[in-house]
Each structure stands twice: as structure tokens, then as C-alpha cells.
Structure 1
């Protein structure tokens, strides 16, 4: 009988296995980067803006009335508001472009000194929002509703219904701005700007500001002038870039290990190709 002795004892095998596991855990903990080197990054924020002419105006308008009793205030308000809505429809606005946005009835109080507040009447308010797509006629429409009895106009909000393309232009401008900032910072730091690691669109929540107008300013002779101007769409992006430092040990390691483009191999290197005229030797396998 022949007995074979193993040079490894169970305790030695366990130690060897532990070394392999420890080595694997260390490799996972290494920072990600080129050839195991840590990657330096640069975070920047870019701002962008694009402008476009509006093609829609949203106006909030209505009637406010006051009377001694609540019923009388509501009755007066209903009559004036009905006349305003009829005038809007007569001016060419479709019913789907007229929407009630607020209806309020509140007591009016007299706050005298050294006594409890006293109710002296009631105030009723009925507001509607209208959408005017023909902006050139907006001044005419405003004059019409004031003449019909509207005594409150809270604001004009100019919009663009197909604003998606303009918003995309603002995003492109924001990306260009972020890349420009990153390039300047990298040059100032003496490093090269690498690839984009991460990019994200930031919701600023800012839209075009409405133009506020008061009813008292609309009864001027010659009609109400309205200048729509242009809408400004803004965008903000956050970008993370990799940085390349050619003077670091990692960059030196990269230059030594990476192929040098299309340069031919050194003389005498076996590339595996058969030279012209060289006999082909069959594979012994």
C-alpha cells in the first residue's frame, strides 16, 4: 500500500483561504478610477436662457360690489358679471376660454376704538380667467370688459403654448455654460477636463412674471396699450466631470500601459500574421 502525504495541513489551508478572501475585499474597496487610481472630479452648475414671443394671454378679471345686505351685494354682482361675460363672448371668446376662478362674499366691518367690530355691509367678488390667443386684440378685449362693468383686473400672464422647443434651447445653453465653467476651472488648476460622469436637470420653478394692471388705468382715451414683449425661459443643470492630471503617477501609468494609437509594433514583434512568401506551417494540434 502506498500512502500519499499532503504538504498542507487543514489549519494551513484555512489560513491560505483567509488570505484570498481578504485580498478580494481589498480590491472591492479600492476607489474606482483608471487602472485602480482614484478619479478626481469637478462639479459645476450651468445656467441657460432662451427667449420667445408669447402667443397666449391669460387674464384674471371680475366684478366687486358692495351693499348693505349680503343678498343685495350678490344680486348686484351677478348682474354686472353676467354683462361682462356676455361682452367677452360678443368679442369672440369661446365659452371654453372663460372660467370662473373665484367667488367670494365677505362682511365689511368697522373697527372703532374701544368697542367690538360692527358689520356695516357686505362685499361680493366674482372673478373669471380668460384665455386670449389673438394678442393683437387684447387691448380691445380689456376695454370691452371694463365698459361692460368689470372693475377688477388682477393681472395678465403671457404664455407660449408650444414652449417646449424654447425650453430645450435654454437647457442646451445651460449645458454649454456648465462646460465652459468647467473648462475654465480645469485650465486654471492645471489639469485637463475629462468626460462627463453625471448630468442632471434642475427644476428652478421660475416662470414668466405676469404683468399687473389696474382697472383704473384702462379707461384712457385711445384704448389700452398692451405690449407682450418676449418670454424668457430659463434652465439650470448640474454636471460632474472627470479631471485628468498628466503629472500624476496614475497618468504616467496610463501612458505606459495604454496602446499608442495606430503606431506600428516594434521591429521583431510577433504579430501573428504570415509574411508574404513565408510557408504556412500546419498546426500540430
Structure 2
């Protein structure tokens, strides 16, 4: 049987089975449709918005903890330290609304009993975490020094913030959109095209909280040393805080 006859026979069997075989013209039409669908040229640009503000207050996370053989003893020691903390803050005229408890915890304290023997119970630990807002930036170091002079007190973190942070975040977002459009227009003008409609907007590349805390780490008075009178901690507020927002925008390009 010739090659032509063999192909005709195979095609006949396929048609008899009801299988649809696209013709070359049909395949070309499908390719043209797909090409037309994805032929729209686009440009994807990342924009960045940055806004700076002077810090308005310090936010301090304070940890008061104590360890003892029994829960009541550990709790009493922690309670006594917390009482002293609140007294110190009252002396500095810190408003009640600027003091709040973030967390309280009671756990089993363990000590290592050997390299390969694991650990054993060594009593109980109680801890209480406070958040303080210190609005007078000139006394932050003094307040922290006074608090660290109290037994069982540690400063977990310290960072700076402003009151209306949401408004500043929104300014940064708007600035990011302006920046993205500015960049897109430069590219399209250089390429001899124009920006069309916006196809997609996606946040990313630096959303809040970009305003990084000024990390001072956990601070505590040396063990067995009483800081009386308390030494003022060298805390220097930053000159400004940076709020940043990032965005990706996809535009359709026009000739």
C-alpha cells in the first residue's frame, strides 16, 4: 500500500471513531486567537513611598519576673517588684492610660542536671509584661535607670513611635503610587509608548511596620548589684522616624 493510501485509511478510521482532528487552518486560527489574547504589552513598576516624622514618644516593654520554690513565693516576689515599678512610674507622673499589662505567666522553672540527663524541676517562675508610653523624651533614660534598679526587672525592648501613625502610613502609600507612575512614565517615554489603563495593583516591597524599633535589647542591672542611686541609662532619641510603603502597579501599554 502506498503512503498516501495508508494515511487515507488511518484518517478514515479516526473519522469513523468520531475523533475531531483540527485542520491546519483551524490550528492557525487558534494560534492567532491566543496570540491576540496575550499580545497586549504591559509594564510592571514598583513604587516606593517614604515619609519621615520626628518621634513623639518612647514605647517600653518591661518584664517583671521572679523564681522561687513555690508558686505563692514566686508570685509574691513578682507582685512586690510590680508594685515598685508602678510607684516609680507614678513618681514620674506617667499617666495610668500610658501603662498596661500585656501578659502574665506562671511556669515551671527547670535546671540542667547533667549533659545527658536532661533537666529537673527547680521551682516556679512568674512573669508579668508591661507596656509603658514615655512621652517626655528627655527623661526616658532616667526612668529606665530607675526601673532597672528594682530587683527582678528587665527592659525587654524600647522603640519610638508617633500618635497618628495610620495617617503617615497612608501618606507613604500615596507617595508610593506617585513614585510608580513617575517611573513608568519615564520608561514609556523613552520607549516611545504611552501608559494605558491600570491592570493590577499589589502592595509589597516595604509595607509598615517599616518603621524599625530602635533596639536597645534586654537591659538589666548586674546580678547582686543594687543600683542605688539608680544610674541614668544613655538613651538618645532618633532625629526622625522613617515610614515606608511599597507597591507594584501593572499598566497596559498603548502605541
Q: What TM-score do you get using the length of structure 2 for normalisation?
A: 0.70
Counterpart residue number, 1:282: none
Are residues 215 and 43 of structure 1, via their aligned partners in 2, closer, same or farther at CA, if it must alter by over 3 Å? closer
Are residues 165 and 101 of structure 1, via their aligned partners in 2, closer, same or farther at CA, if it must alter by over 3 Å? closer
Whole-angstrom CA distance in 2 between matches of 1:202 and 1:59 = 30
What's the C-alpha RMSD, in Å, of the aligned pairs? Answer: 3.0
Does the alignment pair 1:234 with 2:244?
yes
Counterpart residue number, 1:98: 99
Counterpart residue number, 2:15: none
- For residue 232 of structure 2, give the secondary structure of its aligned residue in structure 1: coil
Counterpart contact for 1:196–1:239, Cα < 8 Å: no
Are residues 116 and 175 of structure 1, via their aligned partners in 2, closer, same or farther at CA, if it must alter by over 3 Å? closer
Counterpart residue number, 2:145: 143
Paired residues for 1:128-207 under 5 Å = 128-149=130-151, 151-188=153-190, 190-198=191-199, 200=201, 202=203, 204-207=207-210
Q: Deviations over 1:95-123 (max 9, x none)?
A: 22211112222222234346564212222
Please state how far the C-alpha of 1:160 moved relative to its aligned partner.
0.9
Whole-angstrom CA distance in 1 between matches of 2:216 and 2:197 = 43
Q: Which runs of 5+ in 2 are unaligned?
A: 1-32
Whole-angstrom CA distance in 1 between matches of 2:102 and 2:78 = 15
Counterpart contact for 1:81–1:150, Cα < 8 Å: no
Counterpart contact for 2:51–2:171, Cα < 8 Å: yes
- For residue 216 of structure 1, give the secondary structure of its aligned residue in structure 2: coil
Counterpart contact for 1:61–1:150, Cα < 8 Å: no
Are residues 118 and 88 of structure 1, via their aligned partners in 2, closer, same or farther at CA, if it must alter by over 3 Å? same
Q: Deviations over 1:157-216 (max 9, x none)?
A: 31111234433432343123212331343245x322224425646263433222233323
Counterpart residue number, 1:60: 61
Whole-angstrom CA distance in 2 between matches of 1:228 and 1:179 = 35
- For residue 211 of structure 2, give the secondary structure of its aligned residue in structure 1: coil
Q: Which runs of 4+ in 1 moved over 4 A?
A: 113-116, 217-222
- For residue 215 of structure 1, give the secondary structure of its aligned residue in structure 2: coil
Equivalent of 2:121, from 108, 119, 122?
A: 119
Q: Deviations over 1:211-234 (max 9, x none)?
A: 233323796986212222122111
Counterpart contact for 1:199–1:240, Cα < 8 Å: yes
Q: What TM-score do you get using the length of structure 1 for normalisation?
A: 0.63
Whole-angstrom CA distance in 1 between matches of 2:101 and 2:130 = 4
Whole-angstrom CA distance in 1 between matches of 2:134 and 2:93 = 10
Are residues 134 and 73 of structure 1, via their aligned partners in 2, closer, same or farther at CA, if it must alter by over 3 Å? same
Are residues 166 and 53 of structure 1, via their aligned partners in 2, closer, same or farther at CA, if it must alter by over 3 Å? same
Please state how far the C-alpha of 1:66 moved relative to its aligned partner.
1.7
Whole-angstrom CA distance in 2 between matches of 1:60 and 1:88 = 14
Whole-angstrom CA distance in 1 between matches of 2:107 and 2:40 = 65
